[in-house]
Amino acid sequence: MTLSKTKRGTPTGPEDEEQTFLDLESRLRRGELAVPSRWGDVAHADPAERRWILHAMDLVAKAAEKAGPQFDTFRAAALLVDRAPRRRFDPGTAGRYFEREVMSVSGMLEATLPAALTPPDDATTTELARIHQTAPPRPTRVALARTLTERAGWWEAPLRLTGLTWLHSVASSLQRWMRDDGPLHAAVRPDGPLHDGFDFARSVADAGARDDTPAHRLALLRDEFGYPAEPGEQWDDPALGVLLANSPAHVTTGTWTYVPASVPGTGWGPEEAWPGHLYRLLTHELLHRLAHPAYLEKAESVPGGRVLTEDVVELLTAEFVEASRGDAELGPLVPDVVESRHTQAAEEIRELAGPEGLKAAYFLGRTEFIGLT
């Protein structure tokens, strides 16, 4: 990509760069003069950073003409200047990585992807409301205790330890792929984890490091086993302590993503299946991190919220793991058959909203596409 010509020609020095920037900034701000120009910040940047900003603003200014009024070009101009010090791809990078980065961090794709979708009609919204208002079946305490004992038995004799170094390496590759090569919706929120400095690999810790507290026990019962405990309910079952130390979990308000570092052997099938299982767990946990706050807020407000926060993530996990099959680093970890432990309710939501509508709701907070307003 090259900068578009202005009446001053191609920028050749600081003065040309200043005028080119001011011209592009004016186009993106659409004549708004109340806020001072950002040239003062840009002028102090290094030459490579200034070049990135000018090319990025030129790209967005051209694309904005077809983006429609839903795209906030004023905000985009500021986002690009702020993003430049943390840029990943320079203009001319093969594979359109520069273009994808610019369109994501400027907010253009965040605005235009949903604009191409149609909200569900009244009949579809009614069907979606029925699903959202239906709480999933709650297992009895006796049945759940049996399940806990059986699952904890997997961990009586772990066959080996999984090195955290390997997990960190896979987590880093996964975040890179999700941001730069994966399905678009996951990576186009400028203020989302993939662009705000979050380091997924550094967040990964051994599940055994998780504190064994009553709150964590109840969270595991809710998230992993679909058992929303009653207020004040206590669970002292030893099996739950074993599972807490060997189950994946994410701390939404903190920094840690817990993944089991020990492998239960037969519970996960033959040894050659273990890397794929761990990769799937990492994908599931990263997708939890990428859920839009507005989506989570809506999920908490309906009886069927667990379908939205867990079963939908299962659907997305299978989709994203399969989509990564062509990646040089992640592809070898993808099993021949990618399984998903989602419920029929989650499948119905995807069929009614459409795959793109579901992703717009989950990643971008546009919950009107799944019938939640």
- Point out the least confidently predicted range of 85-94, 135-144, 269-278, 348-357: 269-278
**3-state percent helix, strand, coil for the chain, nearest multiple of 5:** 60, 5, 35
**Greater confidence, 163 or 348?**
348
Q: Is the pLDDT of residue 171 over 70?
A: yes
Main-chain phi, psi angles of 259, to 5 degrees: -135, 135
Computed over every residue of the chain, the mean pLDDT equals: 91
Shared domain for 216 and 347, answered yes or no, is yes
The reply to whether 9 falls in a domain is: no
**Domain encompassing residue 276:** 122-370
Q: Is the pLDDT of residue 217 over 50?
A: yes
Name the token pair of 159.
């066959």
Q: How far apart are CA 180 and CA 157, in angstroms?
A: 39
Residue 108: strand, helix, or coil: helix
Give residue 132's pLDDT: 98
Total domains in the fold of the chain: 2
Shared domain for 155 and 232, answered yes or no, is yes
The reply to whether 363 falls in a domain is: yes
Picking from 80, 115, 150, the residue at the C-terminal end of a domain is 115
- Could you tell me which of 277, 279, 286, 283 has the C-alpha nearest to residue 199? 286
The reply to whether 2 falls in a domain is: no
**Greater confidence, 141 or 253?**
141
The reply to whether 5 falls in a domain is: no
Picking from 77, 95, 115, the residue at the C-terminal end of a domain is 115
The reply to whether 106 falls in a domain is: yes
Q: Is the pLDDT of residue 228 over 70?
A: yes
Shared domain for 187 and 280, answered yes or no, is yes
Picking from 115, 135, 167, the residue at the C-terminal end of a domain is 115
For 258, other C-beta atoms within 10 Å of its C-beta total 24
What is the average pLDDT across 209-226? 90
What is the average pLDDT across 161-190? 94
What is the average pLDDT across 297-310? 96
The predicted model scores a pTM of 0.91
DSSP code at position 94: T
Shared domain for 139 and 110, answered yes or no, is no
- Could you tell me which of 155, 201, 172, 174 has the C-alpha nearest to residue 317? 174
Q: Is the pLDDT of residue 74 over 60?
A: yes
Give residue 254's pLDDT: 61
Beta bridge partners of 250: 257
Shared domain for 158 and 200, answered yes or no, is yes
Burial of 127 (0-12, 13-18, 19+ CB in 10 A): middle
Give residue 284's pLDDT: 96
Shared domain for 276 and 329, answered yes or no, is yes
For 10, other C-beta atoms within 10 Å of its C-beta total 11
Q: Is the pLDDT of residue 159 over 50?
A: yes
Most confident of 160-164, 189-193, 265-269: 189-193
Q: How far apart are CA 280 and CA 267, in angstroms?
A: 15
Give residue 4's pLDDT: 38
Provide the pLDDT confidence category of residue 181 given band limits of 50, 70 and 90: very high
Give residue 32's pLDDT: 75
The percentage of the chain sitting over the pLDDT mark of 90, rounded to a whole number, equals 73
Give residue 252's pLDDT: 58
Q: Is the pLDDT of residue 366 over 90?
A: yes
Shared domain for 271 and 339, answered yes or no, is yes
The reply to whether 1 falls in a domain is: no
Give residue 268's pLDDT: 80
Give residue 15's pLDDT: 64
**Greater confidence, 125 or 162?**
125
Shared domain for 206 and 311, answered yes or no, is yes
Name the token pair of 27.
């186009």
Q: How far apart are CA 259 and CA 320, in angstroms?
A: 19
Q: Is the pLDDT of residue 216 over 80?
A: yes
Provide the pLDDT confidence category of residue 83 given band limits of 50, 70 and 90: very high
Contact 243, 153 (CB under 8 A): no
Shared domain for 105 and 137, answered yes or no, is no
Give residue 30's pLDDT: 86
Name the token pair of 274.
């273990």
Name the token pair of 92.
């001319």
Give residue 270's pLDDT: 83
Shared domain for 141 and 24, answered yes or no, is no
Shared domain for 178 and 139, answered yes or no, is yes
The reply to whether 130 falls in a domain is: yes
Shared domain for 126 and 91, answered yes or no, is no
Q: How far apart are CA 173 and CA 103, in angstroms?
A: 22
The reply to whether 299 falls in a domain is: yes
Listed in order, strand segments (DSSP E) in the chain are 160-161, 204-206, 249-250, 257-259, 262-263
CA quadruple 39, 45, 46, 50: dihedral sign: negative
